[in-house]
Chains A and B, each alone.
Chain A
Amino acid sequence: MAQQKQTQFWQKTPIHISLLAIAFIWTLPSAGLLISSFRRRDAMLATGWWTIFQHPFELTQYHIGNYVDVLQSEGMGQAFFNSLTIAIPATVIPIAIACFAAYAFAWMEFPGRQFLFIVVVCLLVVPLQTTLIPILRAYRDLGLSNSFLGVWLAHAGYGLPLGIYLLRNYIGELPRDLIEAAAVDGASHLKIFTKLIVPLSMPAIASFAVFQFLWVWNDLLIALVYLGTTNDVAPVTIQLSNLVGSRGQDWHLLTAGAFISMIVPLGVFFSLQRYFVRGILAGSVKS
Chain B
Amino acid sequence: MMEFWTRLLNVVLAIAIGCGGVIGLFYLANLAINALPKPWNQRLLPWVYISPALLLLSAYLILPTVQTFYLSFLDGRSQNFVGLKNYIFAFTDRAMLIAFKNNLLWLVLVTGISVSLGLIIAVLVDKVRYEPIIKSLIFLPMAISFVGASVIWKFMYAYKPAGDDQIGVLNALLVNFGFEPVGWVVEQSVNNFALIAIMIWLYTGFAMVILSSAVKGIPEEVIEAARIDGANSWQIFWRITIPMIRSTILVVSTTIIILVLKVFDIVFVMTGGNYGTEVIASRMIKEMFNYRNFGRGSAIAIVLLILIIPVMISNIRRFRTQEKLR
B265→A129 contact, CB < 8 A: no
**A100 cross-chain contacts in B, Cβ below 8 A:** 26, 49-50, 52-53
**A127 cross-chain contacts in B, Cβ below 8 A:** 258, 261-262, 281, 301, 304-305, 308
Select B46's contact among A109, A262, A277, beta carbons within 8 Å.
A109
Binds A, one of B146-154, B186-194, B218-226: B146-154
B156→A32 contact, CB < 8 A: yes
Interface size class of A (residues with CB under 8 A): 35 or more
Does A46 reach chain B (CB closer than 8 Å)? yes
Known pairs A105-B50, A161-B61; A133 contacts B71 (CB<8 A):
yes
Does A199 reach chain B (CB closer than 8 Å)? no
CB of B95 to closest CB in A, whole Å: 17
Known pairs A280-B210, A287-B318; A161 contacts B57 (CB<8 A):
yes
Q: Which positions 63-121 of chain A face chain B at CB distance < 8 Å?
A: 78, 81, 84-85, 88-90, 92-93, 96-98, 100-101, 103-105, 108-110, 113, 116, 118-121
Known pairs A214-B143, A218-B146, A262-B144; A251 contacts B167 (CB<8 A):
yes
Does B158 reach chain A (CB closer than 8 Å)? yes
**A36 cross-chain contacts in B, Cβ below 8 A:** 155
Known pairs A26-B201, A97-B56; A220 contacts B145 (CB<8 A):
yes
Interface centre among B45, B57, B297 (most CB of A within 10 A): B57
A116→B54 contact, CB < 8 A: yes
A152 to B17, CA, bound (A): 11
B53→A89 contact, CB < 8 A: no
CB of B298 to closest CB in A, whole Å: 6
A286 to B251, CA, bound (A): 9
Binds A, one of B79-87, B103-111, B119-127: B119-127
B54→A28 contact, CB < 8 A: no
CB of B128 to closest CB in A, whole Å: 6
A84→B15 contact, CB < 8 A: yes
Does B231 reach chain A (CB closer than 8 Å)? no
B315→A284 contact, CB < 8 A: no
Interface size class of B (residues with CB under 8 A): 35 or more
Binary interface profile of B, 247-271, with partner A (CB < 8 Å = 1, else 0)? 1101110010010011011001100
B134→A19 contact, CB < 8 A: yes
Does A153 reach chain B (CB closer than 8 Å)? yes
CB of A188 to closest CB in B, whole Å: 8
Does A254 reach chain B (CB closer than 8 Å)? yes
CB of B261 to closest CB in A, whole Å: 7
Known pairs A131-B60, A284-B210; A101 contacts B147 (CB<8 A):
no
**A88 cross-chain contacts in B, Cβ below 8 A:** 15, 18-19
CB of A215 to closest CB in B, whole Å: 10
**B169 cross-chain contacts in A, Cβ below 8 A:** 28-29, 32, 48, 50
CB of B100 to closest CB in A, whole Å: 15
Interface centre among B17, B46, B148 (most CB of A within 10 A): B148
Nearest A-chain residue to B160, judged by Cβ: A45
B15→A128 contact, CB < 8 A: no
A244→B14 contact, CB < 8 A: no
Does B32 reach chain A (CB closer than 8 Å)? no
A131→B151 contact, CB < 8 A: no
A287→B248 contact, CB < 8 A: yes
Does B22 reach chain A (CB closer than 8 Å)? yes
**A241 cross-chain contacts in B, Cβ below 8 A:** 147, 150, 268-269
A97 to B18, CA, bound (A): 13
Binary interface profile of B, 177-203, with partner A (CB < 8 Å = 1, else 0)? 000000000000000000000000100
**A251 cross-chain contacts in B, Cβ below 8 A:** 155, 158, 167
**A152 cross-chain contacts in B, Cβ below 8 A:** 18
B311→A125 contact, CB < 8 A: yes
B284→A129 contact, CB < 8 A: yes
A125→B127 contact, CB < 8 A: no
B165→A46 contact, CB < 8 A: yes
Known pairs A30-B140, A116-B50, A118-B319; A133 contacts B148 (CB<8 A):
no
Binary interface profile of A, 194-213, with partner B (CB < 8 Å = 1, else 0)? 00000000000000000000
Interface centre among B133, B140, B297 (most CB of A within 10 A): B140
CB of B52 to closest CB in A, whole Å: 5
A120→B57 contact, CB < 8 A: yes
B50→A265 contact, CB < 8 A: no
Select A258's contact among B139, B151, B201, B210, beta carbons within 8 Å.
B151
Q: List 29 A-B contacts (CB under 8 A).
A: A15-B124, A19-B124, A19-B128, A48-B165, A78-B7, A89-B18, A96-B26, A104-B46, A123-B62, A124-B315, A126-B65, A127-B301, A129-B304, A131-B60, A133-B67, A134-B63, A134-B68, A154-B60, A157-B57, A160-B56, A220-B146, A241-B150, A244-B150, A244-B154, A251-B155, A254-B154, A280-B209, A284-B248, A287-B247
CB within 8 Å of A: which residues of B? 7-8, 10-11, 14-15, 17-19, 21-23, 26, 30, 43, 45-47, 49-50, 52-54, 56-57, 59-65, 67-68, 71, 117, 121, 124-125, 127-128, 133-134, 136-148, 150-156, 158, 165-169, 172, 201, 204-206, 209-210, 213-214, 217, 247-248, 250-252, 255, 258, 261-262, 264-265, 268-269, 281, 284-285, 288, 294, 297-298, 301-302, 304-305, 308, 311-312, 315-316, 318-319, 322, 326
Q: Given contacts A101-B49, A237-B148, A287-B251, could you give 9 more A-B pairs where the C-beta distance is less than 8 Å?
A: A103-B49, A123-B62, A128-B61, A131-B60, A132-B301, A172-B326, A220-B145, A241-B268, A270-B136
User: What 4 A-B pairs are tightest by C-beta distance, nearest first?
Assistant: A157-B60, A89-B18, A218-B145, A131-B64
